[in-house]
Amino acid sequence: MSFSFQQPYPINPEYKKAVAYFCMEYAIHQPLKTYSGGLGYLAGSFMRSAYELRQNIVGIGILWKYGYYNQGRKGDDTMEVLFQEKVYHFLEETGIKFTVKISGHDVWVTAFYLQPDLFKTAPLFFLTTDLPENDYLSKTISHKLYDSNPETRAAAAILLGEGGARLLEQINYQPDVYHLNESHALPLAFYLYRKYRSVNEIKKRFVFTNHTPEAGGNQKSDIYLLQRMGFWGDIPIDEFRQITQCYGDNLDHTLTALRFAGKANAVSKIHLATLQEMWKGYAGVCPLISVTNAQNYAYWADKEMYAALRSNDDNALIERKKVCKALLFEEVADQCGVLLDPGVLTIVFAKRFAGYKRAELLLHDMDRLHRLLSNTETPVQVIWAGKPYPLDYEAISSFDKIVNLCKSYPNCAILVGYELKLSRLLKQGADAWLNTPRVTREASGTSGMSAAMNGCVNVSIPDGWVPEFARDGINSFIIPNTEVTEHKFQQDETDAHNLYHLLEDTVIPLYYLHPEIWLSVIKNSMQDILPNFDSNRMSKEYYDQLYDISGSNSTPNTGS
């Protein structure tokens, strides 16, 4: 089979610079399960906007045979992890085959192609090692997204980084810019170094996006394990240390990407300040800018709600919201046997379960929560959803704790299968979207953006993108945050108290006693989210700011 590639749509002259985008996960459409959470949602929105704007971009990812995992339930309703084989007949076999060296062995690689017109995205290639030419161990490199085995993770990084670069050569696509979305594909930088033998040459064509200050998202690895795996190819160890400035036993992947990049971006203004503080004093860090994350309006927004908004038809907007709530409640009833009321204020917490996101914050004071949930005069309904990492037992424990809480209340539910389809249902059907991260830990967070595009009001800690959007009481409700310097347990105590206070004294009374004001908050939210939090703006800024790396080496980050 021969495969010939050329950009399948006419390129907008404003975006003619050729860009290769490397990401471990893409949330493109429900049938294609190659993502875990926010990073994938962001990448999916970028690929959609690149298509809309006709940008000269090619996306590189990995075709995960077992996806992230299927989130199910055990017999007692607690969470179960299931790895299930995925087969995608709508992807095109390219027939391209080549080898990459991993752990001293040649591993065969092929690529599958996602046609842009299928899901309205930029061209996307998905790499896999699941080939009959490979032994079983080599096949497993592309089996599970974020495999817990450090050797498998290193091999996947080589596959994405070096394998992606090799694929681009195979299809004769010559990027002006290589864009690393998180550091997962870091071997790309070493592949480019072996090609150009100059870090300065890499800086002319290499940019980097960091999405989190959390330790779990900023990997550090034993350099001797990486050396054995072939992470930087055949570069001698002394030369490797010189170009990375890594003189210890552990490689900091994020710091190394910042040293190879000509420019890097944070994903909100708050995150930029956090990154500047984190990396000040480190030699060789590239200039840092902020390009706030966004979500794709064309994909996420409820068009009927926006039609009602633009025609100033309040009744149509209210009725559409009721219809969407009913659709969500059918899913809740099917999963949980709970019949919710479309006339009741519905609060949703839905995102990847991780400690700093604090899915349990509402449970901090059970007496106070009980008063909220048992109030019949101004009732509330609460829905949780989200997928923890499959081996994050603390997060799974939080999920299971909420499962058991929901068994005691007919107005609470927790759903499994938080992927694109369920995410859309939740955002269309929620009245209030709850966001409770510890301040500075949520670099951006984007679920509230697409929630606002579906007539849902953000109730949020002022972290990540939120301060760039929020007008408290006008387009959202802000939970006053505690001091960042306080111990996290004190932060949780204070933030939980402020959350209860905001719900009891402001959000719930407003919904029931002043529905006309509540509607105005919805409308303001739907209006204010555009255009700044549509990913078309983000995609333009990538070209105008991030991909413009000429002369950037002379202005390194100073942390100021």
Is 104 in a helix, a strand, or coil? Answer: coil
Distance CA 506, CA 522 (A): 15
Q: Which residues in 119-136 are b (16+ Cβ under 10 Å) and which e?
A: bbbbbbbbbbbbeeebee
Span 247-295, pLDDT tens digits: 999 999 999 999 999 999 999 999 999 999 999 999 999 999 999 999 9
Distance CA 147, CA 64 (A): 11
Q: Which helix (H) or strand (E) element contains residue 345?
A: strand 345-350
- 240 and 128 within one domain: yes
Residue 273, token pair as written in the block: 């300040």
In the chain, the number of structural domains is: 2
The predicted pLDDT at position 555 comes to 38
User: What CA dihedral angle connects 218, 222, 224 and 226, to 10 degrees?
Assistant: -30
By C-alpha distance, which of 57, 59, 45, 48 is closest to 12? 57
pLDDT(173) > 70: yes
- 217 and 182 within one domain: yes
Q: Is residue 254 part of a domain?
A: yes
Cβ(380)–Cβ(345) under 8 Å?
yes
Give the type of residue at 411.
N
Q: Is residue 67 part of a domain?
A: yes
Span 470-480, pLDDT tens digits: 999 999 999 99
Distance CA 41, CA 60 (A): 15
- 34 and 18 within one domain: yes
Q: Is residue 168 part of a domain?
A: yes
Task: Tell me how many helices (H) and strands (E) the chain has.
Answer: 21, 19
End-to-end CA distance of the chain: 54
Domain of residue 386, CATH code: 3.40.50.2000
- 202 and 338 within one domain: no
pLDDT(374) > 80: yes
- 204 and 245 within one domain: yes
pLDDT(191) > 90: yes
- 289 and 204 within one domain: yes
The predicted pLDDT at position 2 comes to 67
Q: Is residue 201 part of a domain?
A: yes
The predicted pLDDT at position 364 comes to 95
Distance CA 469, CA 526 (A): 11
Give the other-Cβ count within 10 Å of 2's Cβ: 6
Question: Domain containing 22: what range?
Answer: 13-295+539-552
Span 209-260, pLDDT tens digits: 999 888 778 899 999 999 999 999 999 999 999 999 999 999 999 999 999 9
- 186 and 119 within one domain: yes
